[in-house]
Amino acid sequence: MDIGFIGLGNMGAHMARRLIEAGHRVVVYDTRQEAIGNLAARGAIAARSPAEVAHAAETVMASLPTPDIVLAVATGADGVVAGRRVRRFVDLSTTGAVTAQRIFALMAARNIVQIDCPVSGGVAGAERGTLALMASGPRAEIAAVEPALAVIGKMFFIGEQSGAGQTMKLVNNVLSATAMAATAEALVMGAKAGLNPHIMLDVINAGTGRNTATEDKFAKAVLPGTFDLGFTAGLMTKDVKLFLAESGALGVPTPVIAAVGRQFELTCTEVGPDKDISAIVQPVENRAGVKLRGSNNAS
Beta strands 25-29 and 88-91 are unpaired
Mark residue 170 as left, alpha or beta (left: phi above 0; alpha: psi -120 to 50; beta: remaining).
Answer: alpha
pLDDT at 296: 46
Percent of the chain, pLDDT > 70? 98
Percent of the chain, pLDDT > 90? 96
Residue 299 has pLDDT above 60, yes or no: no
What's the mean pLDDT when you consider all of the chain? 95
pLDDT at 297: 45
Q: Which residues are registered as beta bridge partners of 45?
A: 27
Which secondary-structure segment (H or E) carries 100?
A: helix 97-108
- Exposure of 151 by Cβ count < 10 A (0-12 exposed, 13-18 middle, 19+ buried)? middle
Residue 140 has pLDDT above 90, yes or no: yes
The domain limits of the chain are 2-162, 167-288
Q: Could you read off the pLDDT of 221-242 as tens digits, one per residue?
A: 999 999 999 899 999 999 999 9
Residue of 154, 169, 217, 220 marked catalytic? 169
Instruction: Compute CA distances 180 → 35, 69, 273, 281, whole Å.
Output: 30, 27, 16, 8
Residue 49 has pLDDT above 60, yes or no: yes
Cα 289 from Cα 9, distance rounded (Å): 35
Known catalytic residue: 169? yes
Which class is domain 2-162? alpha beta
Q: Could you read off the pLDDT of 163-201 as tens digits, one per residue?
A: 999 999 999 999 999 999 999 999 999 999 999 999 999
pLDDT at 293: 85
Q: What is the residue-wise DSSP string for 219-278? A: IIIITTS---SS-BHHHHHHHHHHHHHHHHHHT---HHHHHHHHHHHHHHHHT-TTSBGG
Angle made by CA atoms 47, 49, 55, in degrees to the nearest 5: 70
Fold classification of 167-288 is N-(1-d-carboxylethyl)-l-norvaline Dehydrogenase; domain 2 (1.10.1040)
Cα 294 from Cα 191, distance rounded (Å): 11
Cα 56 from Cα 26, distance rounded (Å): 9
